[in-house]
């Protein structure tokens, strides 16, 4: 299915920095609860992300990640996920590898273009 450039622009993908990582035992699939700082324009948002098996909590803390910030919030168990943290399934199929900029010099809240 083809989309137009205008369709692509509707998906607001921004870079944020993970500032807190917690276990999420109430989730049906193994996941972490993340707090992500997108800078002053967007602020701090939460995300439930199925990164267990591909990342450790220590690996994720301080990492820059790409997220869709304009989805409606989604309730997952007792947690509200406000952004979708993007990733690819790891080769073992045991988790998702986050999409991250190749350089740390990206300004928080920068939009993917």
pLDDT (0 to 100) of residue 113:
87
H helix or E strand, kind and range, residue 65: strand 64-68
Comparison of pLDDT for 108 and 103, the residue scoring more: 108
Tens digit of each residue's pLDDT (9 = 90 or more) over 22-79: 999 999 999 999 999 999 999 999 999 999 999 999 999 999 999 999 999 999 999 9
Domains of the chain, with CATH numbers?
A: 5-98 (2.40.50.140)
Reported as a pLDDT band with limits 50, 70 and 90, residue 92 is confident
- The closest of 28, 105, 39, 30 to 67, measured between CA atoms, is 39
Q: Which of 55, 51, 52, 49 is nearest to 68 (CA)?
A: 49
pTM (predicted TM-score): 0.94
């Amino acid at each position: 299915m083809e989309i137009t450039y205008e369709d692509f622009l509707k998906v607001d993908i921004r870079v944020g920095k993970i500032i807190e990582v917690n276990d999420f035992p109430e989730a049906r699939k193994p996941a972490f609860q993340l707090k992500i700082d997108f800078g002053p324009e967007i602020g701090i948002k939460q995300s439930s992300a199925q990164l267990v098996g591909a990342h450790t909590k220590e690996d994720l803390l301080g990492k820059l990640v790409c997220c869709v910030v304009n989805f409606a919030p989604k309730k997952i168990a007792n947690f509200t996920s406000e952004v979708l943290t993007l990733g690819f399934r790891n080769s073992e199929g045991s988790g998702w590898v986050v999409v991250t900029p190749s350089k740390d010099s990206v300004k928080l809240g920068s939009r993917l273009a």
